[in-house]
Structure 1
């Protein structure tokens, strides 16, 4: 559930909602419908989003084994799914706890920082071709959250300790 909705409902547990709480609740319900639409677009277009990215990665990284690129793609398929769910729930902590705590470790262990950085760039270039501007705006904060975590991992991996 949306943390904001839960807070409104918890605060009004033994009373009726005040006018400003009703207005806020209506806003969150309206926002949920928009977020659900974006979620469905991402779900329905997953292959259309990632196939061109996969093709670009094979060209950009011919020196890497195909299985390494496939592993990175699989991680980013999951990453976008988690971003979509966090966006639907409007909950950055969902993304933090469900994805980012293990994704950064996976990137370091498999030493795919270069592939992951490039894949992220391809993804943020591809998504606006699929999503409308206002849809992209709903997803963007969660992509930025991933970028901050992943690019921090990539930077840390290239800086000697």
Structure 2
């Protein structure tokens, strides 16, 4: 949203924006209540979401959080908390590009260097199952593309 508003500001400099240029704004305003609600629910349930995701992942593979260096559960929790917060912010502001170009590409480099790709893949396969317990179907429909972007870029 902020990127689109900035782009519109440059493109419509010195003139009124035409209806087609304002279309994204109308769509955003129509979904704002759902975005705010979903953001607040994710914020309130952050710890439970992460705990449930971890538990489901341990059922899939009890050794998923162990590598040659030892147990990296705390590192995973810290990283997933950060990713969940940025994903919620991207949902609120409708800023998928900023999320992709900044945080996710950086996390992708880290995941590859530490060989966490499998853990990332399973995380973002499990997370939508957990998150849907906290969101309405309409809110989830707004949030799932962001989780899918995380899944694609981190695996």
Cα distance in 1, alignment partners of residues 22 and 104 from structure 2: 34
Which consecutive residues of structure 2, in runs of 5 or more, have no partner in the other structure? none
- Calculate the TM-score normalised by the size of structure 1: 0.76
- Calculate the TM-score normalised by the size of structure 2: 0.78
Which residue matches 1:42? 42
Residue 24 and residue 56 in structure 1: after superposition, are their counterparts in 2 closer, same or farther (change >3 A)? closer
How many pairs does the alignment contain?
151
Which residue matches 1:94? 98
Give the deviation of 1:136 after TM superposition: 0.8
Which consecutive residues of structure 1, in runs of 5 or more, have no partner in the other structure? 152-161
Query: Contact 1:39–1:84 (CA<8 Å) still a contact in 2?
Result: yes
Secondary structure of the residue aligned to 1:126 is: helix
Give the deviation of 1:95 after TM superposition: 0.7
Work out whether 1:31 is the aligned partner of 2:20: no
Higher helix share: 1
Q: Which has the larger radius of gyration?
A: 1
Give the deviation of 1:133 after TM superposition: 0.8
Query: CA RMSD of the aligned region, Å?
Result: 2.6
Give the deviation of 1:11 after TM superposition: 4.6
Single out whichever of 6-15 and 111-120 deviates more from structure 2.
6-15
Cα distance in 2, alignment partners of residues 55 and 17 from structure 1: 50
Cα distance in 2, alignment partners of residues 106 and 44 from structure 1: 28
Single out whichever of 36-45 and 61-70 deviates more from structure 2.
61-70
Residue 135 and residue 27 in structure 1: after superposition, are their counterparts in 2 closer, same or farther (change >3 A)? same
Query: Contact 1:86–1:142 (CA<8 Å) still a contact in 2?
Result: yes
